[in-house]
Structure 1
Amino acid sequence: MWVSVRANVRVSSAARRSSREALQIATRAGGLSALIVVGMAVIGIAVLYATFYVWLGVGTPGSMKVTDLPLLLVGYGFGASFVALFAQLGGGIYTKAADVGADLVGKVEQGIPEDDPRNPAVIADLVGDNVGDCAARGADLFESIAAEIISAMILGGTMAQRCKIEDPSGFILFPLVVHSFDLVVSSVGIFSIRGTRESGVMTPTEDPMAILQKGYSVTIVLAVLAFGLSTRWLLYVEQAPSAWFNFALCGLIGIITAYIFVWITKYYTDYKHEPVRTLALSSSTGHGTNIIAGVSLGLESTGLPVLVISVAIVSAYWLGQTAGLIDETGNPTGGLFGTAVATMGMLSTAAYILTMDMFGPIADNAGGIVEMSQQPESVREITDVLDAVGNTTKATTKGFAIGSAALASFLLFSAYMDEVSSFSREPFKQVDIAIPEVFVGG
């Protein structure tokens, strides 16, 4: 929030000179916030891991095993979830209440334009954009990344212990290395978006969404290369020489899943595609048809993401199972870790995705500042285009956050079942929903 509220004025000022410069400032301001969020998750877990490792003397005779160390980090994930819960609820409710209230009193009752300085509720609306779309979404992805890292470390340690791998540190530290590379590749993607300061460039000459997509494509390519290097470096074991390649394919599945999520969300929310145009056309006949068409499109838009997530989980599990890692009884054990690696792949570009989310409220607030300061119409046209693109990128991050949370929850449940099996020394392979206590608790 501190970064976004200070970037708004700079973006509105840059829009007076060049649309590309305004896009660059908004993107880099969002990128700084995103890198801080992802960096805090990685650094926080790494510091805790190193502290416990040294404090407990892990690796010395009679001390805790290194494969059990990630279990001590679970509280970090609970804390992140606790904060994200209140940030999402409080920020989301405030954001929509302020947005709807400002539009009702301004457009409906008084008949004045959006972001008009005569409407004091506009200030609450602009503040709500920062609270709900910057702080809340950042907390949400922070929780998803923290939960995914911790659960993957637990699953990696458990699998290494079952397979009697001599040095399990690579499987445990792999999630931290992947997200450290995320900071690097996302930074390159963010800085690939460059602006100009040419005077007189007052109208957009290139679609801002296309520019952001180019930056995302750069990030995707670098993420694939970094993921392949990481798996070869940390996940290579002599007892299964080709296992690292299977896990690299799992990561590739996750990266492709993230890209498909972005594409699906863009199709359903971009004003250039049919769903939004159909909804706009249905609005010409009244409020009722708008609500019916909007709800039906919203329900329709969930079909493909659910299918993609399902295919990704099954494919990654199969690749993990066929990686060649077996336990003492000869059973393959890499399936769950394969899904964990796929989740890492999906979140390996999280910093850039969060950048696009932060871009939305910054562009929206810049448009409000331009309107309230009574800038020329040409400047408002530039900020309107950026605002429209920002609405699409915000929706993209919502879909990305939900998909990554679904995969992370699967990992957490799997890690929980593994830990119960280890504690009880009995196999725990299924949950019987017919038991009343389980049904009520679930």
Structure 2
Amino acid sequence: MEDLDQLLVELQNVSQRTRNIYENNESETRLEPIVLNRNLPTHRTQTLNLIRPDSMIEPEPVPKSLNELDQLLDALSKAKETIRKDTQNQISRTANSTPTKSISNIDDSSRKNAKSIDDLIETLNDTTETIKSNSKKKSSSTKHSSKKSPATKELEDLMESLSNFKLPPQTTSPSTHVPPCLSPSSEQLPSLKETSPAPQQYPLCHSCQQPIIGQIITVLDRSYHPEHLRCTACNIEIGRKDFYEKSGKPYCEHDYRRLFAPKCTRCDQPIIDVMITALNRNWHPEHFLCELCQRRVGEDGYHEKDGHAYCRECYMNNFVPKCLGCKQTIVDTYIQALGGHYHKTCFVCQECSQPFLTGSFYEHDHQPLCELHYHQRRGSLCSSCQKPIGGRCITAMGRKYHVEHFICSYCTRQLQNGTFKEYQNKPYCHPCFLKLFA
């Protein structure tokens, strides 16, 4: 409808412009360019420029064809209004009627209106031909009018667009379509005797090799009567129960679990639900226990020793080394010495509790000692300087001395010859002893 309105407006403009040309042709010496822009269904834009005629054209009365063109324009306007009113009446009339009937009425009305519009367009074409012939006659009588009149050319283009104009097809919604009822006939409904399968067309039971008419069970591309599908192990009927398949053979639930389900290492029963896999074996969760305390493990981890599972507490108390210094479990780095393990902070001298900064220690009675306390425990300290004796020594009065430290207690001369006198656990040379105590 919008395209038809646009065409009617343009036809009116062309008619008025043509009339003005004939009326004002005598007084005008130059015609301004007229641009006609129209957006027709073919989406073409044309610009028509009216060129000033080389010579003055003699005015003449308005031709009869222009009056006919005005009448046709009025008829087109009336046809447009008639189409709009008919469409609105059809929509209001068919609001309560069936969708199929309303659509058919609208289609009939549209076809009638389209037919009347086609008649009007055909009449317009005839009028255009008349205008063309008149223009040709006039141009032959004029000396410099070898070209067509701009208004005539513009009208020809407009009529060509009208001839190409078509009403859009009426479309119906799929949701409102009602398929026609088909009357039953012998051709549409074949007899039951013709479609009934022959006995040999029924699938054969894999067990009894008889046709299956009724319920059918298909297992591994084989068909069975429900009563003929049986467990491979116990031969009970499983056609109406849950069953399992293994290596192309059906089994009942009990036999399948008994024969093929994984077994628990502790109870040797099939595991149906949750399973724990540990130590290369399978367990029920409630049967995965600590080997020592028999408590359930696995939730917070477990420790393995010699193929057995242990909880953390039992493993730490029984298999983790203990420090020889503090007697506690070692869970971090440690020092291995004297056939045992020590925390780093516990490996010190057992007398002075000083760490072994040089990395070396002395052992006495399976205890780590520094050099001083090692010689002290062994009695290898010089009784005079209280330092360890590393070389030769002199033993006297139950004590040991460096050779250079075994001297007279009075004159401090070295007792080299090995003879001395003792008085109150002190060594003296002979002269000093006679001098002091004789």
TM-score class normalised by the smaller sequence: under 0.3
Larger C-alpha radius of gyration, 1 or 2? 2
Higher strand share: 2
Higher relative contact order (CA 8 A, sep 6+): 1
When normalised by structure 2's length, the TM-score is 0.24
When normalised by structure 1's length, the TM-score is 0.24
Higher helix share: 1
